[in-house]
Chain A
Amino acid sequence: MPELTLDRITKHFKNKIAVDHVSISLQDGVYGFLGANGAGKTTLLRMICQVLKPTAGEIRYNGIPINKLDGDYRYILGYLPQDFGYYPDFTARRYLEYLAACKALPPDLLKEKVQEMLRLTGLEGDQRSKIKTFSGGMLRRLGIAQALLNDPGILVLDEPTSGLDPKERIRFRNIVSSLSKGRIIILSTHIVSDIEFIADEILLMKQGRIIEQGTTAKVTESMHGKVWEYLADQDEALRMNDTFAISNLKNEGDKVRLRLVSDTCPCKGAVPVSPGLEDVYLYHFEEVSEHVEHLERRTL
């Protein structure tokens, strides 16, 4: 079974610590890194992909440091960066063929594999179109296609669903789930629903450290007794919105049903409910983030 070990990985940018002594061991399965913007997810993923060198610590694949494996490590690596790069004048097919050649795919397999990836990501009809004409969603799908070209043993996807519409997100989740057997898939996101159902393990990152790690059930278990529901009138709801972390808000007639995250009972009449991953996120990352904005847009 392949194993990727991160041993006390640290990354400094001048005086700022982006990743702080992260030690984890990843075996085959889907790992979801969840954290607010600036938590250090992208930096950690870039170090896993050899784009950045750690200031301290070591990354090993099956016990061998990845810098020693060099090309052999990159041979089994698939990476979708957050800022996905492409040559705008290339067609989708030519772009994938170029990357497949750089990934050392055998020439007799190359065209077949490119076609397979175009089909998998639904870009078959646009394979002759220049990439500069692609929409954000199509670009993201092209990025996913290139990451999967070499049938990678380690697949690293940084914010893979940004720019995808709900249908494409579901499609992406299904692709990732179907690929999870026999390989290590690392996903980084700040959108909880992206990983809630497909990740075998959730890793919560905050200020460069992993603050919690485990299955969705295990991570949410720690939140028992900290999530509450309360039916409030409009004025009370506004007041509580300023005081507590609200994970959901639903209008019911002239009243508002609030879902709150609080260590103690927020008010008389509030009832404890079973926590979800969004509640865990809100508990740990109270600062305004894209996720919260996303929640706000959805609920208000």
Chain B
Amino acid sequence: MTRHTHASPHHRPADQTGKPPINIPASEWRFPINEEKKAKSLAVIYQEASLKQLRYYPTFLEHIWNQMRFQPLTHWLTLGSLLLSAMLLALRFRLKSGGAPEMLTACSVFFVFAGNICLSQIARLFSCHMAELEQTLYLNLRQMVCIRMLEAGIANLIILTVILGITGETNPLGIGTSLIYMLAPFLWSNILYLHMLTCLRNTGSGLFSYALGLLCGIAALFPVLWESAYRPEYLTIWKCLTIAGVFLLAAEIVNLLGRIDCEDTAIILSR
């Protein structure tokens, strides 16, 4: 009959030869650790662990991509049409080599309308009662508005570059001065648009936003009514208007984001 015994590693029972048990301390009984192998194994474990994500955090670029890929096809067609129109308009003035005031008026009015159309995608976020729901998502309404503004800003920058780049050589005023003449109405029209967006409580969807954009764009038509608007002596006023416009637009954006965050805009605008 075999008898099983549980032997401690420290006190081994006498073997079959009858020799007495050998007492070995635990530290000596273990195999020596291969430090190099241990470090390599740990590095592999660390690498595997770093790849395992318990929670998914999308990057900023992923958020932008997610916002862009769910934009309707009409939005991309509109942007494409705007870019094409900007090219054609600029080419027309380049070939025609007409007077600077005529070109500036036409281009700045076009730029203002284009800016407002690009900005109308923000209004879409507030339409169809979506604002309340969007405010509760991981990427919330405020962040969505920021992404849409960034997108609109990039689109505007491309359009402006196209216009100034194509007309640059034939433009007697130079790119810097033309930039000021075009930016001032653009900035003020955008301020008006954003202000109306929060104050008038946009209730409709696409059409209302476009109508609002057109209305604000009309403000850019004033040089048509006032022929001497582009005379050099008024350039300082244009510069002041541009600087003031930059600050006011920034303030208007901060106000809009603040209202979404702190006030009950999500509710008000979704009504």
Contacts and interface: CB of A to CB of B under 8 A. Distances in A.
Interface of A: 46, 49-53, 71, 74-75, 77, 79, 81, 83-89, 94, 97-99, 101-106, 146, 150
A85 B132 CA distance: 8
A224 B115 CA distance: 68
A77 B136 contact: yes
A83 B136 contact: no
A81 B138 contact: no
Contacts of B56: 104-106
Contact of B270 (A75, A83, A105, A106): A83
A102 B270 contact: no
Contacts of A104: 56-58, 138-139
Consensus secondary structure, chain B interface:
loop
Contact of A89 (B72, B140, B144): B72
12 contacts: A46-B267, A49-B135, A51-B264, A53-B264, A74-B140, A75-B138, A77-B136, A79-B136, A87-B130, A88-B128, A102-B134, A103-B139
A87 B262 contact: no
B55 interface: yes
Contacts of B130: 85-87
A88 B124 CA distance: 12
Interface string B37-62: 00000000000000001011110000
Contacts of B129: 81, 83-86
A84 B133 contact: yes
Nearest to B135: A51
B66 interface: yes
B132 to A, nearest CB: 5
Given A85-B128, A85-B130, A74 B138 contact: yes
Nearest to A150: B138
A52 B264 contact: yes
B128 A102 contact: no
